[in-house]
Amino acid sequence: MKTRVTLLSAALFGLIIASVSPSKLSAQGKEKPRQEKPGKGKVGGPKIAKPRISNTVKATIYADNWFKLYLNGNLVAVDSISFIPHNVISVDILPEYPMTIAVMAKDNADPVTGLEYNDTNLGDGGFILKFGDGTLTDATWKAKSFFHGPVDRDMQNPKTKHTAIPEDWFEIDFDDSAWANAVEHTEESVGPKDPFYENDFAGAKWIWTEDLALDNTVLFRKVIASPPNGDPMPREWPRGKIDASNR
């Protein structure tokens, strides 16, 4: 029995060795050595601190009708459903500060007419977000519309105005100083669907530009300097970036 256990351990150890590629080992070797609990784990070079689930916070996001969200220039969450049903997107994120949040939110609107449901309806937007570190949407966020219409609410002869979106709108160093502040809207005026009420958005405000109905593509930006809930600043974790192309 003892021999079998030893063999099993050896086999498992072999599997662990085999699962760590040489490139990963050398990449880890360049990282700062772990300060606490040295010597735990024998695979690879110097032990480095790795984030755990307990180091993440929950990000809960609802958009009428769609959004994509960047943190410090990295795409983190996309509403997987473009129009209906309305849904809440909830993901665990590993926060780092300062944290630049950049959001593209879109109301469902035909690019030419600004209308929906076969050009029969003037739809409206709305965006709300809450992170487990206390980050909340409110009027301190920056907001700018890039697609407006139908101009003058004219649904009989609908015209729209599009503004080119800067390529680097989601980057950390993008200059949003000329943007207006977001406008807070009431829950009644946005009229969220059921999934909103099944999630915790307590304290967060619905934001958009001033015009919930006619501004159809809105960019939001906000920099979070440190955890708003007073949590200590997290350490700097090693971070990777996945190449999402087909390479």
Q: Is 216 in the site for Ca ion (CB under 5 A)?
A: yes
Closest CB 123 distance from Ca ion, rounded Å: 4
- CB nearer Ca ion, residue 44 or residue 195: 195
Q: Is 217 in the site for Ca ion (CB under 5 A)?
A: no
Nearest to 200 by CA among 56, 55, 60, 57: 60
Q: Is 135 in the site for Ca ion (CB under 5 A)?
A: no
Residues between 51 and 70 that touch Ca ion (CB under 5 A) = 64-65
Q: Is 109 in the site for Ca ion (CB under 5 A)?
A: yes
- CB nearer Ca ion, residue 130 or residue 148: 148
Closest CB 190 distance from Ca ion, rounded Å: 9
- CB nearer Ca ion, residue 100 or residue 209: 209
Segment near Ca ion (CB under 5 A), from 35-43, 77-85, 117-125, 229-237?
117-125
Q: Is 79 in the site for Ca ion (CB under 5 A)?
A: no
Closest CB 170 distance from Ca ion, rounded Å: 22
- CB nearer Ca ion, residue 64 or residue 176: 64
